[in-house]
Amino acid sequence: MDTTATTPTRGDDLPAQLERLGREHPRLLDRLDQDLVAAWAEDLRRAAGGRDDFGPAAAGGRGERYVRAQQDRLMTRAHGIDQLLRLICDPAEQRGQVVLDLLGGDGLVRRVAGRTGHHGLSIMTCDLSPLMVEAAWEAGLPAVLQSASRLLFRSGSVDGVLLAYGTHHLPESDRLLAAEESLRVLRPGGVFVMHDFEVGGPMDVWFEQVVDRYSATGHRFAHFTREELTACLDKAGFEDVRVVELADPYRVVADSPRAAELGMGRYLLDMYGLVGLEDSLGAERAEEWTVQRAREVFGVPGPDGVRPVIEPRRDPGTGGWHLEVPRRALVAVGRRPER
């Protein structure tokens, strides 16, 4: 009896991931450097394990809640993901291109890509959290356990690299290494996109005043300035480096204003593992509190000087109610030199 379809692919079992890649995605497996894989597998075997904020709750992480947030509301971050992929390549030119999603979590970017017109891309989910890699495989998505600063792919083997949604989690000493490794694995002319949030901006405030205070994992990580992003890509050897500001909102759709508010509250609670709020307030009050705090943190004037209204709005076309929390991301884009 063939049990391969029902046997889970464990996130800490690199050989099992490679075996499944070979069966289901041989084109992606061919891009791996087997010498790098062997050295990494040996180091994983010797490692005693370390902090994993996206691991299971039993080990002090918030991984299960994070996965639940993405599964329950897949398209909440779809606008930003769509824009990031467009920076790598125009959808009309994506056919057959391979992109590494270095902080891919449970494969959110790949799942959203297929719903936002990026049908030609072959996206490889990469993450250092075994729980995230396992969740990606459970969803039928190709994934491999690896560090963003130690890539397992052959030099010049991929068309694009995305480093997003957690770049600040990389130790500051590893950020240049991640950019250099991305340059190495890109083909000449390939594009690297590095996404995070600006020091002192609303997301920085949110992490400091809400996530660090109420999550089980805390959140003491340094975000970026424009100058730091530019310097990182310049030092790594990229050309045509630019930093753009990108709209990357949270969007929730529901059948009533109340449901939209509570849905956004639930998404934020799960996304950031704000267990301290639920423990002290209970589920519904915590959802209400979280949305109100988001209004205070993100309801600041944008680049156009207009203060956003973070309230449910009816869509005349669908009759549904939309609630959007505006976020502005800093995104550095660079290209591997052709020479």
Residue where the block lists tokens 């891309």? 121
Residue 280, pLDDT > 80, answer yes
The 10 Å CB-count burial string (b at 16+, else e) for 251-268 is bbbbeeeebbbbbbbbbb
Residue 5, pLDDT > 70, answer no
pLDDT at 49: 64
- Cα separation values, 282 from 205, 218, 269, Å: 24, 20, 12
pLDDT at 339: 83
Q: Give me the percent of the chain exceeding a pLDDT of 70.
A: 98
Cβ neighbours, 10 Å, residue 275: 18
Residue 196, pLDDT > 90, answer yes
Residue 303: pLDDT band (50, 70, 90) is confident
Contacts 24+ apart (CB under 8 A), 179-184: 179/232, 179/233, 179/235, 179/236, 179/238, 180/236, 180/237, 181/148, 181/149, 181/150, 181/151, 182/100, 182/102, 182/151, 182/236, 183/236, 183/237, 183/238, 183/336, 184/151, 184/155, 184/156
Residue 48: pLDDT band (50, 70, 90) is low
User: Is 1 or 18 the better-scoring residue by pLDDT?
Assistant: 18
Residue 164, pLDDT > 90, answer yes
Average predicted confidence (pLDDT) for the chain: 95
Residue 6: pLDDT band (50, 70, 90) is low
Residue 192, pLDDT > 60, answer yes
Residue 182, pLDDT > 60, answer yes
DSSP of 91-157: GGG-TT-EEEETT-TTTHHHHHHTTTT-TT-EEEEEES-HHHHHHHHHTT--EEE-BTTB--BPTT-
Q: What number is the average pLDDT over the span 305-331?
A: 94
pTM above 0.85, yes or no: yes
pLDDT at 50: 72
Residue-wise pLDDT for 213-249, tens only, equals: 999 999 999 999 999 999 999 999 999 999 999 999 9
Residue-wise pLDDT for 94-143, tens only, equals: 999 999 999 999 999 999 999 999 999 999 999 999 999 999 999 999 99
Residue 53, pLDDT > 50, answer yes
Outline where DSSP puts E strands in 261-327.
Answer: 313-314, 321-325
Which SS3 state, helix, strand or coil, does residue 267 take? helix
In whole angstroms, what is the distance from residue 108 CA to residue 125 CA?
9
pLDDT at 2: 43
In whole angstroms, what is the distance from residue 126 CA to residue 227 CA?
27
In whole angstroms, what is the distance from residue 97 CA to residue 121 CA?
5
